[in-house]
Amino acid sequence: MTSRIIDGKVHASTLGEKISASLPAFRAKTGRAPGLAVVLVGHDPASEVYVAAKGRMARQLGMESFEFKLAETTSQQDLLDLIARLNADDRVDGILVQLPLPGHLDTLAVISAIDPDKDVDGLHLVNAGRLASGLPGLVSCTPLGCLLMLKAELGQLSGKDAIVVGRSILVGKPMAQLLLAENCTVTIAHSRTHDLPAKVRAADIVVAAVGQPEMIRGAWIKPGATVIDVGINRIERDGRKRLVGDVEFAAAAHSAGAITPVPGGVGPMTIMSLMYNAARAAHVRKELPPPEL
């Protein structure tokens, strides 16, 4: 068996078209475009690349992008003061503080300071609670992108056995909640899970978000299963630096029905899901119907 490759760029393009199509009516009603504010503290090279990419994508889709680059030594109070100003600014519909933050800053306090209705990362406790309770809210971008790809590939997910390997608040836990809401039977696995290979082999859907290079072996994948690989790991192999996922891709591709590559799978959908969250937040704040998914 040869797997279908789930092209995240294609799915992201489709979602981007839906977002762009919603913006002319929003501008006509409000006199402005949706606004996304991205805050970067320090000079982490990877974070700088991500922030620049998010700003470009927002502008490309027709949204306003407000970027705030703060010094590594920025104090907790100065960062909280900026968030308070962005919360009060009606031009700003979405606020994202790029993680990780420098060690002297309290990440939970910073996330908690963001207006939940502008929390486009979906990490605020209010949005986590809304998701767990089945209420509408802003959902963490990576799990949302994964769900949209799964639904596009498989249609109805109801009744399928799914395993999420990883239990982070950014991916694992919200991913499990989203799959539960689609009526999947969900297992959350982690470093203490007994006989992980057997549990993976039983799953129709495998979401790997554990942060360990190629931890999920190809031999563990059930024939025909759909595999979503969230991992991005930099390794050196054969004297070259490479990006690999949390799944042993080449071997898994012989069993899986469909699989995301690394790179080019989940990454593009994560950024586009952030754009969707910004557009959704803008519409909901103005009591307008959000863009269709």
Peptide bond into 268 cis (omega under 30): no
Measured CA to CA, the distance from residue 161 to residue 207 in angstroms comes to 11
Answer yes or no: 246 catalytic: no
Please count the other Cβ atoms lying within 10 Å of the Cβ belonging to residue 133.
Answer: 9
Answer yes or no: 156 catalytic: no
Answer yes or no: 121 catalytic: yes
Measured CA to CA, the distance from residue 42 to residue 40 in angstroms comes to 6
Annotated catalytic residue, options 98, 118, 173, 177: 98
Written as six digits, the tokens of 164 are 């999420």
Q: How far is CA 36 from the centre of its chain?
A: 16
Measured CA to CA, the distance from residue 192 to residue 133 in angstroms comes to 27
Annotated catalytic residue, options 93, 117, 121, 204: 121
Measured CA to CA, the distance from residue 258 to residue 255 in angstroms comes to 9
Annotated catalytic residue, options 54, 160, 173, 222: 54
Catalytic residues: 54, 98, 121
